[in-house]
Amino acid sequence: MKPARASIDDESGISLVELLVYSMLIGLVLVIVGGMLISSLSTEKTVRSVVQATTAGQLASRSIDAGVRNALQLQLSSPAGSDQLIRARVQDAKAPDTTYCAAWYYSDADGTIRYKAFTPSSPAATAVIPATFTPAELASWLLLVDGVSPAAGRPANDPIFALVGTALSVDFAVSAGDDPPPAISTSSTRRLTLENSQCY
């Protein structure tokens, strides 16, 4: 007996139409996955910028909070326009017998909060914090945060610091680029008292 031969009409493999359908399905899946990837990258960028702005605002807030809580004397003034200056004589948390003069400056025009500790020129001298500063002098201060503005819903030139008795409230927003600015709001109370300040 002769072995059976394969038929010439046998339809094995895939047709051109099937190949096109499969290609379209793969393309559709890639478009969906690509869209999800682009969306997640956009969300990650938004979250990163908001987290960075929040972190910078919280660090500035913590610096002010630590200074106010350990302040023996505290004064809030407006040196120019909507700018604000916090001046304090602060007890060193690590060395309770030591005090230093510190200041935080909010520049409305620059949208920055800066910090500087003032030390005396000699052990017998007293470091006095001036009431006003030039832009060049402020540029040498430590920049705590930039992109600062009054919190949402408040006028553009509204103060971000308010001192009532021994309590200082801080209320501002930090720019996060094109994303909604996070709000920083806190209040600190001075726990120590000294009759005469040698810092201002």
* pTM to 2 decimal places: 0.76
CB-based contact 105:84 (threshold 8 Å): yes
Instruction: Return phi, psi of residue 157, to 5°.
Output: -100, 20
- Write the burial class of residue 3 (CB in 10 Å: 0-12 exposed, 13-18 middle, 19+ buried): exposed
pLDDT tens-digit series, residues 55-107: 999 999 999 999 999 998 889 999 988 899 999 988 887 887 788 889 999 99
Query: What local confidence, expressed as pLDDT, does residue 35 receive?
Result: 86
Confidence at residue 194, expressed as pLDDT on a 0 to 100 scale: 65
Q: Collect all residues with Cβ–Cβ distance below 8 Å to 3 and sequence separation of at least 6.
A: none
**Low-confidence residues in the chain, pLDDT < 70:** 1-12, 120-127, 194-197
Cβ-count burial of 173 within 10 angstroms (0-12 exposed, 13-18 middle, 19+ buried)?
buried
The pLDDT assigned to 56 comes to 92
Count of residues making up the chain:
200
